[in-house]
Amino acid sequence: MARSGIRYEEVQDAAETLLGRGLNPTIQRVRELLGTGSNTTISEHLKRWQQQLAESPKAVLPPTVPETVMTALEPFWKIAVQQAEAAFEEQRAAAAQAVAAAEQARDAAVAGERQAQTAADDLSRQLDAASVSARQLADQLLVAQERRVAAENTIDAAEQRAQAAIDAVTQIRAETEARIAQMDAVLQQSRIDMASQQLQAQQRIDDERQRAEANETRLMHLLDRDRAEYATERQAFATERQEWKNREAGWRIQLETQRRETIDTRAALAIAEERLRVRDTELRQVRAALVAAENRYGDMTRATDALRNELRTALDAQNRLRQSFEMSRQARTDPRTSPESE
């Protein structure tokens, strides 16, 4: 219900003033012109004024036209004005509906863009975590490879020591055999030259042989010990190498799993980015449609303002003609201005 603060006549005068300025009499413009009043009250008065404006226009004809002709043309004028108002309302409703649909599409596109951005951020964080895990596994694999190389170098050194011991035994045997051969030659020479020294020489040979056998036995013990140590080290290395191979296989499996997860994550990130690009394209299209709808609404508003200005001008002309007609009729009926009074 309209409040008593703003009267209908004030709103009517403000609306007609805005029409005279070539502006559309909206609620905000009327309120700014009056400087007071609620939107509800001004809206009700404006609706009443627009309804009266649609019902009041009549055909503008010269005063010499018969009253019957004016009466016959008046319904056609009302119908034309009502059709123009109905077309305007229909176009305004269509424009408002198009703007509302564009705003809903824009809100949906913005929401989709936010969801896609959130999914892209989550996938980026997962990709970073997968990259860190892959780097850690690669570092562990590198350390394992370095330890395996160090163990292989240790085995190579042990094999070299064993080969050196075998070479030393072979050299000692060669030297011993050479010395035995030399002693045999000396013995033969001694048998020929000095038969009396046979026992002494034989004793010396036996001593030499015992020392040689002792040396050989000692060297064989050393060789057996080196071989046993080498076999132990080789067995330990084989066990450790098998363990490192198992660990390396496990790390390789984990690394491959991390790589597959990284590939999947990157693929999901690419899909999310593609969805984000599609959402962005849809948003730009919706914004373009919204701008076009607003432009069409502005064009219809300007056309409506022009039509109202023309209607206002026609009403003013009609009022002037009616005033002229009334003045002429009064002049004809006034006895002071009639020819008989003269």
What sign does the dihedral 295-298-299-300 (CA atoms) show? positive
Helix (H, G, I), strand (E, B) or coil at 59: coil
Which of the two residues, 256 and 339, has the higher pLDDT score?
256
Task: Report the distance separating Cα 36 and Cα 24, nearest Å.
Answer: 19
Domain boundaries, the chain: 1-52, 129-263
pLDDT digits (tens, 9 = 90+) for 154-200: 878 868 886 887 888 688 788 878 887 887 787 688 678 877 777 88
CA distances from 139 to 243, 252, 329 (A): 18, 12, 113
Residue 111 has pLDDT above 60, yes or no: yes
- Over range 11-33, report the average pLDDT: 91
Provide mean pLDDT across the span 109-122. 81
How big is the CA angle at 302 (ends 37 and 304), to the nearest 5 degrees?
A: 75
State residue 53's pLDDT score: 81
In order, the DSSP letters of 131-150 are HHHHHHHHHHHHHHHHHHHH
Q: Do 22 and 305 touch, CB atoms closer than 8 A?
A: yes
What is the reported pLDDT for 9? 93
CA distances for 7 relative to 32, 43, 51, 189, angstroms:
15, 12, 17, 160
Residue 338 has pLDDT above 70, yes or no: no
Q: How many CA within 13 A on the CB side of residue 192?
A: 5
CA distances (Å), origin 248, targets 261, 265, 330: 19, 25, 120
What's the whole-number average pLDDT of the chain?
79
Give the per-residue pLDDT at 41: 93
Q: Which residue has the higher pLDDT, 105 or 310?
A: 310
pLDDT band per the 50, 70, 90 thresholds, residue 237: confident
Q: How many residues does the chain have?
A: 342
Write the pLDDT tens digit of every residue in 272-285: 889 889 988 988 89
Question: Does 72 have pLDDT greater than 80?
Answer: no
Phi-psi region of 60 (alpha: psi -120 to 50; beta: other; left: phi over 0): beta
Amino acid occupying residue 129: A
By CB atoms closer than 10 A (0-12, 13-18, 19+), residue 341 is exposed
| pLDDT tier for residue 263 given thresholds of 50, 70 and 90 | very high
Q: 324 versus 331: which is more confidently predicted?
A: 324
pLDDT value at position 76?
52
Q: Is pLDDT above 60 for 73?
A: no
All residues at 6 or more sequence positions from 27 whose CB lies less than 8 Å from its CB, including other chains: 39, 42, 43, 46
26-64 pLDDT, tens digit per residue, is 999 999 999 988 899 999 999 999 988 877 654 444 444
